[in-house]
Amino acid sequence: DAKTTQPPSMDCAEGRAANLPCNHSTISGNEYVYWYRQIHSQGPQYIIHGLKNNETNEMASLIITEDRKSSTLILPHATLRDTAVYYCIPPTNFGNEKLTFGTGTRLTIIP
Protein backbone atom coordinates (compact mmCIF):
# COMPACT_ATOMS: atom_id res chain seq x y z
CA ASP A 1 0.00 0.00 0.00
CA ALA A 2 1.11 3.55 -0.67
CA LYS A 3 2.54 5.41 2.32
CA THR A 4 3.25 9.01 3.19
CA THR A 5 5.85 10.68 5.39
CA GLN A 6 5.19 14.00 7.12
CA PRO A 7 7.06 15.90 9.83
CA PRO A 8 5.29 15.43 13.17
CA SER A 9 5.08 19.13 13.96
CA MET A 10 5.74 22.61 12.58
CA ASP A 11 5.35 26.19 13.72
CA CYS A 12 4.49 29.18 11.57
CA ALA A 13 4.11 32.86 12.40
CA GLU A 14 0.67 34.35 11.92
CA GLY A 15 0.33 36.05 8.54
CA ARG A 16 3.18 34.10 6.97
CA ALA A 17 2.89 31.26 4.50
CA ALA A 18 2.79 27.80 6.04
CA ASN A 19 4.46 25.16 3.88
CA LEU A 20 3.69 21.56 4.86
CA PRO A 21 5.71 18.88 3.09
CA CYS A 22 4.70 15.32 2.34
CA ASN A 23 6.66 12.49 0.81
CA HIS A 24 4.70 9.88 -1.15
CA SER A 25 7.47 8.18 -3.08
CA THR A 26 5.43 5.04 -3.76
CA ILE A 27 2.76 6.90 -5.71
CA SER A 28 1.85 5.29 -8.99
CA GLY A 29 -0.54 5.40 -11.88
CA ASN A 30 -3.57 7.60 -11.54
CA GLU A 31 -3.38 7.98 -7.79
CA TYR A 32 -4.52 11.28 -6.32
CA VAL A 33 -2.96 13.03 -3.35
CA TYR A 34 -5.42 14.35 -0.78
CA TRP A 35 -4.98 16.70 2.13
CA TYR A 36 -7.29 16.98 5.12
CA ARG A 37 -7.01 18.82 8.40
CA GLN A 38 -8.44 18.29 11.86
CA ILE A 39 -8.98 21.23 14.15
CA HIS A 40 -8.93 20.33 17.84
CA SER A 41 -10.90 17.08 17.99
CA GLN A 42 -13.43 18.10 15.36
CA GLY A 43 -14.09 15.83 12.41
CA PRO A 44 -11.46 16.08 9.67
CA GLN A 45 -12.06 18.61 6.91
CA TYR A 46 -11.13 18.14 3.26
CA ILE A 47 -8.68 20.77 1.98
CA ILE A 48 -7.51 19.95 -1.51
CA HIS A 49 -6.44 17.15 -3.84
CA GLY A 50 -4.24 16.82 -6.90
CA LEU A 51 -3.01 14.37 -9.49
CA LYS A 52 -0.01 15.88 -11.29
CA ASN A 53 -0.63 19.59 -11.72
CA ASN A 54 -0.47 22.26 -9.07
CA GLU A 55 -3.86 23.07 -7.62
CA THR A 56 -5.32 26.05 -5.78
CA ASN A 57 -8.61 26.64 -4.07
CA GLU A 58 -9.96 29.06 -1.50
CA MET A 59 -8.25 27.24 1.34
CA ALA A 60 -4.79 26.34 0.06
CA SER A 61 -2.43 25.56 -2.77
CA LEU A 62 -0.94 22.17 -3.54
CA ILE A 63 2.41 21.90 -5.26
CA ILE A 64 3.26 18.45 -6.62
CA THR A 65 6.78 17.70 -7.84
CA GLU A 66 7.23 16.63 -11.44
CA ASP A 67 8.02 13.04 -10.44
CA ARG A 68 4.95 13.15 -8.13
CA LYS A 69 6.90 11.63 -5.27
CA SER A 70 6.32 14.57 -2.95
CA SER A 71 4.00 17.51 -2.49
CA THR A 72 3.71 20.67 -0.42
CA LEU A 73 0.54 22.13 0.98
CA ILE A 74 0.71 25.92 1.20
CA LEU A 75 -1.51 28.06 3.40
CA PRO A 76 -0.62 31.48 1.98
CA HIS A 77 -1.49 33.71 4.94
CA ALA A 78 -1.78 31.55 8.02
CA THR A 79 -4.16 32.61 10.78
CA LEU A 80 -4.59 31.30 14.31
CA ARG A 81 -7.61 29.33 13.09
CA ASP A 82 -5.28 27.30 10.86
CA THR A 83 -3.76 25.63 13.94
CA ALA A 84 -4.62 21.99 13.34
CA VAL A 85 -3.29 18.55 12.43
CA TYR A 86 -2.77 18.29 8.68
CA TYR A 87 -3.02 14.88 7.05
CA CYS A 88 -1.43 14.00 3.74
CA ILE A 89 -3.43 10.98 2.67
CA PRO A 90 -1.64 8.13 0.91
CA PRO A 91 -2.47 8.23 -2.78
CA THR A 92 -5.56 6.38 -3.89
CA ASN A 93 -6.98 5.47 -7.23
CA PHE A 94 -10.05 6.98 -8.76
CA GLY A 95 -13.08 5.65 -6.95
CA ASN A 96 -11.11 3.92 -4.19
CA GLU A 97 -13.33 4.07 -1.15
CA LYS A 98 -10.65 3.90 1.49
CA LEU A 99 -8.60 6.74 2.91
CA THR A 100 -5.78 6.07 5.34
CA PHE A 101 -5.01 8.71 7.97
CA GLY A 102 -1.57 8.62 9.54
CA THR A 103 -0.57 10.87 12.42
CA GLY A 104 -0.14 13.96 10.23
CA THR A 105 1.70 17.22 10.95
CA ARG A 106 0.61 19.29 13.92
CA LEU A 107 0.81 22.89 12.69
CA THR A 108 0.86 25.61 15.32
CA ILE A 109 0.34 29.19 14.22
CA ILE A 110 2.16 31.56 16.53
CA PRO A 111 0.77 35.07 17.13
Partner 1 sequence: NAGVTQTPKFQVLKTGQSMTLQCAQDMNHNSMYWYRQDPGMGLRLIYYSASEGTTDKGEVPNGYNVSRLNKREFSLRLESAAPSQTSVYFCASRQGQGAPYNEQFFGPGTRLTVL
Q: By CB under 8 A, tell whether 21 contacts partner 1.
A: no
Binding mask 58-87 for partner 1 (x = CB under 8 A): -----------------------------x
Pick out residues in 39-58 that bind partner 1 (CB under 8 A): 41-46, 49
CB of 94 to partner 1, least distance (A): 6
Which among 21, 44, 41, 16 is positioned nearest to 33, based on CA atoms?
21
Three-state DSSP at 27 gives coil
Give me the numbers of helices (H) and strands (E) for the chain, helices first please: 0, 9
Nearer to partner 1, 53 or 103 (CB): 103
> Among the residues of the chain, which ranges form H helices?
none
Nearer to partner 1, 66 or 94 (CB): 94
Answer for which of 40, 58, 67, 98 binds partner 1 (CB under 8 A) is: 98
CA distance 29 to 89: 16
Which among 92, 45, 52, 84 is positioned nearest to 68, based on CA atoms?
52
Q: By CB under 8 A, tell whether 99 contacts partner 1.
A: yes
Which among 9, 62, 5, 61 is positioned nearest to 32, based on CA atoms?
62
What residues line the site for partner 1 (CB under 8 A)? 32, 34, 36, 41-46, 49, 87, 89, 92, 94-104
